[in-house]
Structure 1
Amino acid sequence: MTWQQALTDYKIYLQLERGMAANTIAAYRRDLEKFIEWIDQQESGYDPKTIKHDGLILFIHHLAATVSPRSQARAISSLKGLFNYLMLEDYREDDPMELIQSPRLGRKLPDTLSTQEIDQLIAAIDRSTAHGERNRVILETLYSCGLRVSELINLKISDLVFPDGFIKVTGKGDKQRFVPIGASTIKIMDDYLNQVRVHLPIQPQHTDTVFLNRRGTGLTRAMIFTIVKDLKRTAGIKKKVSPHTFRHSFATHLLENGADLRSIQLMLGHESITTTEIYVHMDRAYLHEMLQKHHPRNTFE
């Protein structure tokens, strides 16, 4: 078995048996291709069935000298997954990654925007053009519903359940959830659909896609990142801003205004509450306020 054969089989396994999202599989593939490229340069004769712990340790040392701890941890995770698969399929009897530990990572708190900064970004949109109106709806939807970029670009008109105040979102692993959408966002999205989108030359395969480019086809992830990057520059905001920043801001502002973690978890589509709990660490002042307000020993006559 060659490394390329192992990678191809592993990708099929992740897709068909594990049901992983295309973006997750692509991330694993990139990490493993870098490993295979390094292996080829060594001319060591290592193959997936015979490589030992010592050979992998050399690669880990190479990673430690060239990439960040976070990138190291991701690459190690990808390798662990590959060798677990090889053992599952009886290509190997042992796990050469068993004793290899990922570097310790500090918990990185996500960047957020204030409500004023979100207003600045939306105000920076040139709404005299059709794509400007579309971009306004994109930003409002990212912030109002806490969507991932992939969820936004794949949103369908048939997913909009406006009478009930919800949209149906297809998230990681094709798992679906219903996310509430506010009345103001419904109004501007409805205006976009009925006053802007209807005038586009919509391509047959995108008749149900909400957000379209001027050629009538769906937007890409790169397009959404470019839209946000350009608006950030126009608005004069200095902090790092990406489409995901709106999702973090959505969760943080809900928490600050009294929403419970379980509700936020369901809206974000997190499988585990521990993923959502990172937002509890966002604002120490908020946590102190909650203690003062709700702990029975902090009430005074």
Structure 2
Amino acid sequence: MVENVNVMLKLFIEYLQIERNYSQYTIGSYEHDVKGFFMFMSEQNISGVKDVTYSDIRIYLTKLYDEKLARKSVARKISSLRSFYKFLLREKMIEDNPFTLVSIPKAEKRLPNFFYGEEMEQLFDACKSDTPLGLRNLALLELFYATGIRVGECSQLLLKDVDFFLSTILVHGKGQKDRYIPFGSFAHDALEQYIQNGRNQLVKNHHMHDFLFVNFRGGPLTTRGIRVILNKILKDSTYNGKIHPHMLRHTFATHLLQNGADMRTVQELLGHAFLSSTQKYTHVTNEYLRKSYMSHHPRA
């Protein structure tokens, strides 16, 4: 069984890479979830993926809940396995998909975390430095806030993807979908300063490449490297709280809607395939308005 399922998993990963064009981070999550289920199959003496039944999946779900996993984590694992079995069904390696019978538990509804204007200013102040790394960090932060791009999209940006004349970037998004996103004067100036006075200094002792953002050695900046940089910016600022790259994406969308942007425009800028993915930000803006009202109206 081990050799057989490993071949199936290898083919599934190739499908995610080539046909779905998923990021390495996303593919890693799928692989981790599928391998975890393989371990469960071994524990239950299930000889192969064809032999998995609905009852087996119910036992697996019970095991996950016994491990105190959050509903969101359980839902992700089931979704990964459903996709894996759907792929096997398409390739005629199995005859039915028992995971279609399993309902994914609803995740807790949480409003996206975002930064207020004054909090963003604290982060920008922490980046003010004329060093090559300081210029890079400011350009990185300004671009995230100006465009709302994902971390994976940012790490793949090339120099040629930046159009300073039109003040736009070409972003290669999920599912091989490209989109152009405009950026403002602050991001324009920060990017220009970084490319002219920071990037050249960082890559001079490294093999030449065209990636926009580079690490301290001059090599392409990875998604992990971006997270490390953002944590350092937070540590150097006066802001007290947590940060993750998606908070900047949430901030971008929330601030646009708060200032009158329409939902369809925000959807296109974010690269969301469905409007429902963008609509969660209306809840954020409505909550923001409610709090502002309660804080400032004399008879609230």
Both structures adopt the same fold (TM-score exceeding 0.5): yes
**2:140 aligned residue:** 138
**1:204 aligned residue:** 207
**2:6 aligned residue:** 4
**1:292 aligned residue:** none
Q: Give the match's secondary structure for 2:107.
A: coil
Q: Distance in 1 between matches of 2:287 and 2:201?
A: 48
Contact 2:145 2:252 in 1 (8 A): yes
Q: Distance in 2 between matches of 1:184 and 1:17?
A: 37
Q: Distance in 1 between matches of 2:95 and 2:158?
A: 46
Q: Distance in 2 between matches of 1:151 and 1:17?
A: 18
Q: Which amino acid aligns with 1:60?
A: L
Contact 2:72 2:108 in 1 (8 A): no
**1:256 aligned residue:** 258
Q: Distance in 1 between matches of 2:70 and 2:287?
A: 31
Q: Distance in 1 between matches of 2:287 and 2:10?
A: 49
Query: Do structure 1's residue 164 and structure 2's residue 170 form an aligned pair?
Result: no
Q: Distance in 1 between matches of 2:230 and 2:168?
A: 25
**1:58 aligned residue:** 59
Distance of aligned partners of 1:19 and 1:154 in 2 relative to their CA distance in 1, 3 Å threshold: closer
Q: Which amino acid aligns with 1:204?
A: H
**1:106 aligned residue:** 108
Distance of aligned partners of 1:61 and 1:167 in 2 relative to their CA distance in 1, 3 Å threshold: same
Aligned residues: 287
Distance of aligned partners of 1:52 and 1:142 in 2 relative to their CA distance in 1, 3 Å threshold: same
Q: Which amino acid aligns with 1:150?
A: G
Of 137, 150, 153, 2:152 maps to 150
Q: Which amino acid aligns with 1:8?
A: K
Distance of aligned partners of 1:105 and 1:45 in 2 relative to their CA distance in 1, 3 Å threshold: closer
Contact 2:132 2:201 in 1 (8 A): no
Q: Give the match's secondary structure for 2:180.
A: strand
Q: Give the match's secondary structure for 2:49.
A: coil
**2:125 aligned residue:** 123
Q: Give the match's secondary structure for 1:219.
A: coil
Of 86, 89, 95, 1:87 maps to 89
**1:219 aligned residue:** 221
Distance of aligned partners of 1:19 and 1:126 in 2 relative to their CA distance in 1, 3 Å threshold: closer
Contact 1:280 1:287 in 2 (8 A): no
Distance of aligned partners of 1:139 and 1:18 in 2 relative to their CA distance in 1, 3 Å threshold: closer
Contact 1:202 1:217 in 2 (8 A): no
Contact 1:111 1:241 in 2 (8 A): no
Q: Which amino acid aligns with 1:31?
A: D
Q: Distance in 2 between matches of 1:57 and 1:186?
A: 53
Distance of aligned partners of 1:280 and 1:79 in 2 relative to their CA distance in 1, 3 Å threshold: same
Alpha-carbon displacement from aligned partner over 1:251-283 (angstroms, at most 9, x marks no partner): 000000000011111111111111111100103
Q: Give the match's secondary structure for 2:165.
A: helix
Alpha-carbon displacement from aligned partner over 1:99-150 (angstroms, at most 9, x marks no partner): 2111122322211001110110111235142211210111111101111111
Q: Give the match's secondary structure for 1:97.
A: helix
Contact 2:71 2:108 in 1 (8 A): no
Q: Distance in 2 between matches of 1:128 and 1:120?
A: 17
Percentage of identical aligned residues: 33
Contact 1:143 1:249 in 2 (8 A): yes
Q: What TM-score, normalized by structure 2, do the two folds share?
A: 0.89
Structure 1: gaps (5+ residues): 290-301
**1:24 aligned residue:** 26
Contact 1:14 1:20 in 2 (8 A): yes
Q: Distance in 2 between matches of 1:239 and 1:220?
A: 24
Q: Give the match's secondary structure for 2:100.
A: coil
Q: Distance in 2 between matches of 1:27 and 1:219?
A: 21
Of stretches 235-244 and 26-35 in structure 1, the one that deviates more from structure 2 is: 235-244
Q: Which amino acid aligns with 2:48?
A: D
Quote the RMSD (CA, aligned, Å).
1.9
Q: Distance in 2 between matches of 1:240 and 1:280?
A: 23
Q: Distance in 2 between matches of 1:202 and 1:160?
A: 24
**2:35 aligned residue:** 33
**1:70 aligned residue:** 72
Alpha-carbon displacement from aligned partner over 1:25-44 (angstroms, at most 9, x marks no partner): 222111111111222233x1
> By how many angstroms is 1:287 displaced?
6.1
Q: Distance in 1 between matches of 2:205 and 2:188?
A: 22
Q: What TM-score, normalized by structure 1, do the two folds share?
A: 0.89
Structure 2: gaps (5+ residues): 292-300
Distance of aligned partners of 1:61 and 1:81 in 2 relative to their CA distance in 1, 3 Å threshold: same
Contact 1:21 1:174 in 2 (8 A): no
> By how many angstroms is 1:221 displaced?
1.2
